[in-house]
Amino acid sequence: MTPRILVLNDPNLNLLGTREPEQYGRETLADLANSCADSARALGLDIEFRQTNHEGELIDWIHAARGRCAGIVINPGAWTHTSVAIRDALVASEVPVIEVHLSNVHKREPFRHISFVSSIAVGVICGLGSHGYRMALAHFGQMLAEQPA
């Protein structure tokens, strides 16, 4: 069976392309979804690409990934810096997580230097724009290829 990766985009990322383009670029969420789908196809992965502005909905999606998804790529947006509930849900899912940010959060305001997710993630990629998502997918592709059948 083709391994499934859940790609989660959190609050305000529906506005990509028009929201602070100097920080987040001009690509829209649909562009990002298409480029992730192309990468996943090339890597032999199935992806579910989602975005929500509702924390509870996100937590339900993370719970549902348990036993069903081989990896989670998450851009938790502003919840990165605030949400213990999302961190706990990710831990409970027992699915390996890669945290991605379009911007380099460490070059920005001090409150963005704190992440509740990083210490439970396999890895963190930030500042590389949408390429970070494709790098995260490539990592999962490699990791799964190396796993014994």
Beta carbons of 91 and 66 less than 8 angstroms apart: no
Q: Is 12 annotated as a binding residue?
A: no
Is 102 within any annotated ligand binding site?
yes
| Phi then psi dihedrals of residue 93, to 5 deg | -70, -25
Of the chain, the end-to-end C-alpha distance in Å amounts to 11
Nearest alpha carbon to residue 100 among 36, 19, 21, 30: 36
Nearer to ligand DQA, 52 or 103 (CB): 103
Cβ of residue 108: shortest distance to ligand DQA, in angstroms? 7
Q: Work out how close the CB of 106 gets to ligand DQA at its nearest, in angstroms, rounded to a whole number.
A: 10
Positions touching ligand DQA (CB under 6 A) are: 12, 75, 77-78, 80, 101-103, 105, 112
Residue 103 annotated as part of some ligand binding site? yes
Q: Which residue has the tokens 């990766």?
A: 5
Q: Return the number of the residue (70 or 124) whose C-beta is nearest ligand DQA.
A: 124
Whether 133 is catalytic is: no
Identify which of residues 4 and 108 has a Cβ nearer to ligand DQA in the complex: 108
| 15 assigned ligand-binding residue | no
| Catalytic (active site) residue 24 | yes
DSSP string of 7-75, one letter each residue: EEE-TTGGGTTTS-HHHH-S--HHHHHHHHHHHHHHHT-EEEEEE-S-HHHHHHHHHHHTTT-SEEEEE
Choose the catalytic residue: 54, 101, 113, 139: 101
Binding residues for substrate, as ranges, are: 75, 81, 88, 102-103, 112
Residues with active-site annotation:
24, 101
